[in-house]
Amino acid sequence: MATGSYDPARTMVGRAGMPNIRRGMSGQREKRRKTRLDALLGQVAAGDTAAFEELYDETIASVYGLAVRVLRDPAQAEEIAQEVMVEVWRKAGRYDPARGGAMGWIMTLAQRRAVDRVRAEQSAAERDDLAARREPPAAPDGVAELVLDRLDRRRVRDCLDHLTAPQLQSITLAYYDGYTYREVAERTDTPLSTVKARMRDGMIRLRDCLGVA
């Protein structure tokens, strides 16, 4: 197992973006590359940081390419690729050359992470959709009731000026115009989870500004 205080993220600093995906190789060249990668991964397992940096440069394009194919989102694919390489550093000691080559092992890690990301996003979207279908119109919560019922309009207006434009828009549509969270999301063309976060953060700002406990 690779140990020590080495931070693999330092290897990624200065390597902006993802390199072009490697094209096909001749059989002999590919065989030599496989042997070299196997050796590098063995050295990484022993904590060799220079070997990790070389392994990173040799494999990151393939890892990124796989992530793009699964996620169909270059930004998320780049994030997954970097996470995979950190995992390679941390788990290199678990690599068993008797069960396959280093590249196959690394690509398996990449496949799992990319698929897990897709599943997590699908689950989150399904939860948000189910919650939106179940929830009633966005009625004022305790903070909003205090704002509307106990405090003068001038103080409310002054504190509303402390909100960001997206927060103010979401709160106005929900608490004053009576739209559901889902309707606010649709009217503003914003993900439901983002709308909820804006409203939560906006109400916290109002609470703090108004001195509501």
**pTM, whole model, 2 decimals?**
0.52
Query: With 0-12 CB in 10 A as exposed, 13-18 as middle and 19+ as buried, what is 6?
Result: middle
In the chain, how long is the greatest CA-to-CA distance? 80
Print pLDDT tens along the chain (213 aa): 454 566 666 656 555 455 555 555 567 887 888 889 999 999 999 999 999 999 999 999 999 999 999 988 888 889 999 999 999 999 999 888 888 899 999 999 999 999 998 888 887 777 766 665 655 555 445 555 555 554 456 677 777 788 888 888 888 887 667 777 788 888 888 888 888 888 888 888 877 787 755
Within the chain, all domains assigned CATH 1.10.1740.10 are found at 9-126
pLDDT digits (tens, 9 = 90+) for 19-55: 555 555 567 887 888 889 999 999 999 999 999 999 9
Angstrom distance (rounded) from CA 44 to CA 89: 7
* Domain 9-126, classified CATH 3.40.50.300, yes or no: no
3-class SS at 213? Answer: coil
Q: What is the DSSP letter of 172?
A: I
Angstrom distance (rounded) from CA 126 to CA 132: 10
Within the chain, all domains assigned CATH 1.10.10.10 are found at 142-210
102-134 vs 74-91: helix axis angle to the nearest 10?
130
> Tell me, what's the pLDDT at 151?
47
Mention the CATH class of domain 142-210.
Answer: mainly alpha
Q: What is the DSSP letter of 177?
A: T
Report yes or no: 183 and 120 within 8 Å, Cβ to Cβ. no
* Residue 62 identity (one-letter amino acid): S
Report yes or no: 112 and 47 within 8 Å, Cβ to Cβ. no
